[in-house]
């Protein structure tokens, strides 16, 4: 009887997945199994490819994916995947890989890998290293009430990289701090330049971020919502007007990027029978 019960539960889960309501998200494609733990995505300029990566425990590779979910290009990166969490790009065709996942808040080797456009044309790409430490972290790890130094989100803007932290503090999971570092290789101190609070549950964790090509919209992602910031001055992104859009769909959403100034691509990791998808989301 137990085996029958498990089998029936399996069928119910499959049925729920098949008939799943994606709410305001438009499902574009199911991603290949090699992207089970997709943690970031980025669309560059006029290229149709969406670059994706996996987080820790996976190969040091990035994947150029079509909007139909097909891998069109695969590039091995000549650097270890300690915990890759997001990917972004600049106006010169360089990609940046955020190797700053820091679950226990004790890493002293936080870094961002800079991949030139020339290297992206190869099957194995060399990188330049941008190392950094947070200006206000003194202990590794800090006390449990100060576990604010994990990160899963960042983007490039005008020669700087903006990192958004993920809180590990109980009842303050939606707290994010925004740090700024130069986009050039070397050792840098990440300067605290803003903060935002998105709620107290783990569904409030900030897991992705991007800025529109025209520089007028910033999107922050969590499992429960998207926040769109507008009407900000210079790089004071989080002081702008914010529109909060709740999802009607629950999954481990970790990747977000602008397709154009009014449309987003979103990806989620696979958990049980849910996720590992590419979605489109309109913010008009």
* pLDDT tens, per residue, the chain with 284 residues: 544 444 444 344 444 444 456 778 999 999 999 999 999 999 998 899 999 999 999 999 999 999 999 999 999 999 999 999 999 999 999 999 999 999 999 999 999 999 999 999 999 999 999 999 999 999 999 999 999 999 999 999 999 999 999 999 999 999 999 999 999 999 999 999 999 999 999 999 999 999 999 999 999 999 999 999 999 999 999 999 999 999 988 899 999 999 999 999 999 999 988 999 999 999 97
**Is residue 235, in this structure, part of any structural domain at all?**
yes
What are 226's two structure tokens?
Answer: 């998207």
* Backbone dihedral angles phi then psi of residue 136, each to the nearest 5 degrees: -110, 20
**Is residue 109, in this structure, part of any structural domain at all?**
yes
Distance CA 87, CA 249 (A): 24
Distance CA 236, CA 232 (A): 6
What are 46's two structure tokens?
Answer: 């006029």
Distance CA 174, CA 155 (A): 19
Quick one: pLDDT at residue 21? Answer: 61
Quick one: pLDDT at residue 240? Answer: 95
**Is residue 216, in this structure, part of any structural domain at all?**
yes
**Is residue 12, in this structure, part of any structural domain at all?**
no
How many folded domains does the chain comprise? Answer: 1
**Dihedral sign computed on CA atoms, order 60, 64, 66, 71:** negative
**Is residue 14, in this structure, part of any structural domain at all?**
no
> How do 186-197 and 128-134 pair as beta strands?
parallel
**For residue 111, which of 92, 127, 132, 128 has the smallest C-alpha distance?**
132
- Give one DSSP letter per residue of 182-216, joined into a string: ESSSEEEEEEEEEEEE--SSGGG---EEEE-TTSS
Distance CA 110, CA 102 (A): 8
Question: What CATH number does residue 41 fall under?
Answer: 2.120.10.30
**Is residue 11, in this structure, part of any structural domain at all?**
no
**Is residue 120, in this structure, part of any structural domain at all?**
yes
What are 119's two structure tokens?
Answer: 């290297």
Q: Which domain holds residue 263?
A: 22-282
Quick one: pLDDT at residue 7? Answer: 43
- Give one DSSP letter per residue of 26-95, joined into a string: EEEEEPPGGGTTEEEEEE-TT-S-EEEEE-TTS-SEEEEE-TTS-EEEEEEESS--S---EEEE-TTS-E
Distance CA 42, CA 96 (A): 10
Cβ contact 55:85 at 8 Å: yes
CA 59: distance to chain centroid? Answer: 17
Quick one: pLDDT at residue 124? Answer: 98
Distance CA 155, CA 112 (A): 11
**Is residue 1, in this structure, part of any structural domain at all?**
no
What are 227's two structure tokens?
Answer: 């926040």
What are 113's two structure tokens?
Answer: 């890998």
């Amino acid at each position: 009887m137990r085996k029958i019960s498990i089998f029936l539960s399996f069928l119910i889960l499959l049925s729920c997945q098949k008939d799943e309501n994606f709410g305001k998200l438009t499902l574009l494609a199911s991603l290949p199994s090699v992207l089970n733990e997709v943690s970031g995505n980025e669309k560059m300029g006029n290229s149709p490819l969406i670059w994706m990566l996996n987080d820790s425990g996976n190969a040091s590779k990035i994947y150029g994916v079509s909007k139909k979910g097909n891998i069109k290009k695969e590039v091995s990166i000549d650097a270890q995947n300690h915990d890759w969490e997001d990917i972004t790009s600049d106006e010169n065709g360089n990609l940046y890989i955020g190797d700053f996942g820091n679950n226990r808040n004790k890493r002293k080797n936080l870094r961002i890998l800079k991949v030139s456009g020339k290297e992206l044309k190869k099957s194995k790409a060399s990188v330049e290293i941008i190392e950094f430490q947070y200006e206000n972290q003194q202990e590794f790890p800090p006390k449990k009430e100060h576990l604010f130094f994990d990160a899963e989100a960042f983007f490039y803007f005008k020669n700087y990289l903006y990192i958004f932290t993920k809180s590990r503090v109980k009842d303050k999971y939606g707290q994010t701090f925004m740090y700024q570092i130069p986009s050039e290789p070397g050792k840098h101190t990440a300067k605290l330049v803003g903060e935002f609070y998105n709620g107290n549950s783990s569904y409030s964790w900030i897991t992705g971020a991007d800025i529109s090509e025209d520089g007028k919209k910033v999107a922050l992602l969590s499992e429960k919502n998207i926040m769109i910031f507008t009407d900000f001055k210079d790089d004071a992104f989080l002081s702008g007007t914010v529109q909060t859009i709740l999802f009607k769909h629950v999954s481990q959403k970790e990747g977000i990027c602008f397709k154009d100034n009014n449309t987003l691509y979103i990806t989620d990791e696979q958990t049980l029978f849910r996720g590992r998808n590419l979605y489109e989301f309109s913010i008009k």
